[in-house]
Amino acid sequence: MTARMARTPREGRSEYVVGLMCGTSADGIEAALLSLRGAPPELAWKLRLHRSFPLPRALRERILAAAGGAAWPAAEFAALDAAIGEEHAAAVLELLAEAEVDPQQVSAIGFHGQTIFHRGSRDAGAHGTGLTWQIGSAATLALRTGIRVVHDFRSADVAAGGEGAPLVPLVDWLMFRSAHVPRALLNLGGIANLTAMPAGAEPVDVIAFDIGPANMLLDGIVRRSTGGKLAYDEDGARAEGGAIDEELLTEALADPFFAQPPPRSTGREHFGEAYLDRWFAAAEARGLAESDLLVTAAVLSASAVAQAIHAFVTPVMELTHVYASGGGTMNPVLMAALEAALDPLELKTTNELGLNVAAKEAAAFAVLAYESLHGRPGSLPAVTGASGPVVLGSVTLGPWSRESA
């Protein structure tokens, strides 16, 4: 298989771009095929196909172990890097086959990779700089599919003094801003993050930041309670009959991160296994059931969202709706807690804006890859805290041949 790697994208014609995302929960790969045309501020987009691909349990456990700080030899990380690349390549080829699109018709793959470590510049302290590391072999992905891969999206922003997150806000602005009404986009992945835009927003008007744990804490409770047999609480069934533990909720909301003003980012380093240890210690001390922990975790996430909007968004813009996306929208317990916490704001989903809730982050990295190929910055310095706008990512070329020269 060959690919047209030397060709520069041309403005004015539609291009196919695949976006891939496997978030901090590592429960599966979201793959989205988009057709994209134009340039900011007028970017035309259409979701051609979206698919979800669950990860094999053994691979998921290795990813979570690595992200949890496993002290492995280099060979183990190298093997995991290759395995992640292979899994994403298989997902891309299956997606394109179902869409009846030849890989040679695709301009690029936007590949987020799997975050193993992330520390934004704000938390660098004595270390002097932020650090971010996403693994997943872009070379394997490019070779198996024949498509160039844009990857390592966060490093350039971190090198410029930014948090390296969130990166989706520019895409939210391109795809969902309104000339007439303010909008807030809430992503409920492993970590919850928010993008808020006033009516008629320019990029400089966007407010965006990480909020705190969403699925990460909920999934961690289920995984530990079941000894790894289950990865998440399907349909909120395991939370049934649970009650909020007010003491645990109050302690959790007192975490200094929730009061930290933007720019801010977070992840498993703050809300991972050590954080979960404290929850299970509290459960043992007070006789709490798994269902109690799940309900309390859902209310924590919802309360953190509401507090963040009240503290950092509504003082500067009047919101009426919040549009949620991500895996957390499939959890009725979390969505009910959010609806109650956000009242009188109305909670909706991005389905009502024309984009499937499960496809949104994958679609975002397709757009970011498209912007990078055109040499345009993909981050918002006012959001990440970087010294200036930067073009995101590195490009790995696909198989080289005379046809592509």
Q: Mean pLDDT of all residues in the chain?
A: 93
Q: Within this chain, do residues 339 and 199 fall inside the same structural domain, yes or no?
A: yes
265: nearest Cα among 127, 364, 117: 117
In a domain, 2, yes or no: no
Return left, alpha or beta for 293; rule: phi > 0 is left, psi -120 to 50 is alpha, else beta.
alpha
Q: What pLDDT, on a 0 to 100 scale, did the predictor assign at position 114?
A: 96
265 lies in the same domain as 311:
yes
pLDDT above 90: percentage of residues in the chain: 89
Which pLDDT value is given to residue 121?
A: 77
pLDDT of amino acid 287:
97
Question: 10 falls in which pLDDT band (50, 70, 90)?
Answer: low
74: domain CATH number is 3.30.420.40
Domain that holds residue 259: 169-353
- Does 198 share its domain with 344? yes
Q: Check: CB of residue 19 under 8 Å from CB of residue 48.
A: no
Do 75 and 209 fall into the same domain? no
Q: Do 154 and 33 fall within a single domain?
A: yes
> What's the whole-number mean pLDDT along residues 109-134?
84
Is residue 176 one of the residues assigned to a domain?
Answer: yes
How far lies 340's CA from each of 224, 245, 303, 330, 385, in Å?
A: 28, 17, 9, 17, 32
Together in a domain, 381 and 335: no
* Span 386-395, average pLDDT: 96
Q: Is residue 145 part of a domain?
A: yes
Q: What is the pLDDT of residue 6?
A: 39
Decide if 24 is inside a domain: yes
pLDDT at 403 over 50: no
Question: Over 80: is that where the pLDDT of 124 sits?
Answer: no
Distance CA 252, CA 270 (A): 12
Q: Is residue 46 part of a domain?
A: yes
Does 249 lie in the same domain as 124? no
Last-in-domain residue among 323, 338, 353: 353
User: Is 232 in the same domain as 315?
Assistant: yes
Degrees to nearest 5, angle at CA 120 with 115 and 122: 170
277 and 366 in a single domain? The answer is no
Residues 104 and 238 in one domain: no
Contact 355, 319 (CB under 8 A): no
CA distance 10 to 40: 14
* β-pair type (106-111, 207-213): unpaired
**4 falls within a domain:** no
Domain count, the chain: 2
- For residues 92 and 174, membership in a common domain is answered with no
What pLDDT, in 10s, does the model give residues 41-76? 999 999 999 999 999 999 999 999 999 999 999 999
Mean pLDDT of 167-176: 97
pLDDT at 3: 40
CA separation for the pair 16, 140 (Å, rounded): 20
Tell whether 20 is covered by a domain: yes
Per the domain annotation, does 297 fall within a domain? yes
State the pLDDT at residue 7: 47
Note the pLDDT of residue 402: 31
Regarding whether 362 and 259 lie in a shared domain, the answer is no
